[in-house]
Amino acid sequence: MKAVVYHHYGPPEVLGLEEKPPPVPGENEVLVHVRASSVNAGDWHMMRGEPFLVRLMGYGLLKPKHTTLGFDLAGQVAAVGGAVTRFQPGDAVFGLTPDRTLGAFAEYACAPEHTLVPKPAHVSFEEAAAVPAAAITALQGLRDAGRMQAGHQVLINGAGGGVGTFAVQIAKALGAKVTAVTTTGKLAMARSLGADRVIDYTGHDFTRLEKRYDLIFDVGAYRSISDYLRVLNPAGRYVLIGGATGRFFQAALAGPLLSMVSGKKITTMVAKPNQDDLMLIRELLAAGTIRPVIDLRFPLSDVAGAIRQLEGGHVSGKLVITV
């Protein structure tokens, strides 16, 4: 099979298309004939081995331990392990590869049975591949870390990216009043996804405005935590899921103390995929309650170009890899 492989950490140029044997599914795994994947921030963190903590977490200290990237996948079941009961060859599925081995940037990839769900018939493989990691992050960040409730005033900072576009839609589906913060060219898109109010961060500083929020869901992390606290209600919550590495660690380390002092909850989160949440996402997708926003499509041979585009910023929604 063809797979995008890297043997050293570095820029997108370290990625190359190679021939390698298809993986063999374990007892609880499904072998998927990949039809599409999509690019996430985690892919370029793994590609570059940055921050250094990535290497210390078991992905390889001096060079990558697993050589094919790719979290999201959609395709058809090619084979199943002996303990798999939910799927059989030929089923159309979408979901996530294991977070330790990845592997979706290839013609075949293995995934645990519990990180896959059936693809809705009317949803294309490309659309399905744009959903899993970003939508799960948005759902768990809003519902679990953010404790969001119907009627809450929610601000989504970075509403035009992969996670942000799903966060706007999921927050609306759960009954929130949504303010979307993004750049000028993405304001109309944010409105079309259901945002009640949009703010162009290039012309307005929302932390200096009078409006207050029950939850700030932050994908961008380009301001100090004290700026965000200024516009939170007294019992409000600030959830950081991405952005600058330094800011993320600042929130993770200082958050508990600042929460005690301010009375406002400050937390970071990393998504933990599970089949129940994937099934909920599938139901929302099948019903048309959420939809992926696909900016650009790249062939498997140009995963490097897709990650380069992601690193450059200004992506609207998701970048999809067609296989």
* Confidence class for position 225, pLDDT limits 50, 70, 90: confident
Supply the pLDDT for residue 100: 78
In whole angstroms, give the CA distance from residue 219 to residue 222: 9
Of the two residues 305 and 241, the one the predictor is more confident about is 305
Half-sphere exposure of 111 (CA within 13 A, CB side): 34
Highest mean pLDDT out of 213-217, 238-242, 254-258: 213-217
Which residue do the tokens 């390698």 mark?
20
pLDDT surpassing 90 at residue 304: yes
In whole angstroms, give the CA distance from residue 156 to residue 170: 11
Supply the pLDDT for residue 251: 60
Q: In angstroms, what CA-CA distances link 172 with 137, 197, 213?
A: 16, 12, 15
Rounded to the nearest integer, the mean pLDDT of the chain is 92
In whole angstroms, give the CA distance from residue 251 to residue 248: 5
Burial of 103 (0-12, 13-18, 19+ CB in 10 A): buried
- For the stretch 185-223, pLDDT in tens is 999 999 999 999 999 999 999 999 999 999 999 997 777
Handedness of CA 248, 262, 158, 289 (dihedral sign): positive
DSSP 323: -
Contact of 263 with 235, CB cutoff 8 Å = yes
pLDDT-wise least confident of 7-21, 163-177, 211-225, 307-321: 211-225
Contact of 109 with 103, CB cutoff 8 Å = yes
**All domains of the chain in start order, with CATH:** 2-131+292-322 (3.90.180.10), 133-268 (3.40.50.720)
Classified as helix, coil or strand, 102 is coil
Supply the pLDDT for residue 259: 63
- For the stretch 58-93, pLDDT in tens is 788 889 989 999 999 999 999 999 999 999 999 999
* Confidence class for position 50, pLDDT limits 50, 70, 90: confident
Q: Quick one: which of 187, 197, 193, 192 has its CA closest to 155?
A: 197
- For the stretch 103-160, pLDDT in tens is 999 999 999 999 999 999 999 999 999 999 999 999 999 999 999 999 999 999 999 9
pLDDT surpassing 90 at residue 270: no
Task: Estimate the crossing angle of helix 132-140 against helix 162-173, to 10 degrees.
Answer: 50
pLDDT surpassing 60 at residue 245: no
In whole angstroms, give the CA distance from residue 269 to residue 291: 23
Of the two residues 298 and 266, the one the predictor is more confident about is 298
pLDDT-wise least confident of 34-48, 53-67, 219-233, 245-259: 245-259
Indicate the pTM of the whole model. Answer: 0.93
Supply the pLDDT for residue 268: 84
Average pLDDT over residues 2-20: 96
Supply the pLDDT for residue 136: 97
pLDDT surpassing 70 at residue 254: no
Supply the pLDDT for residue 313: 82
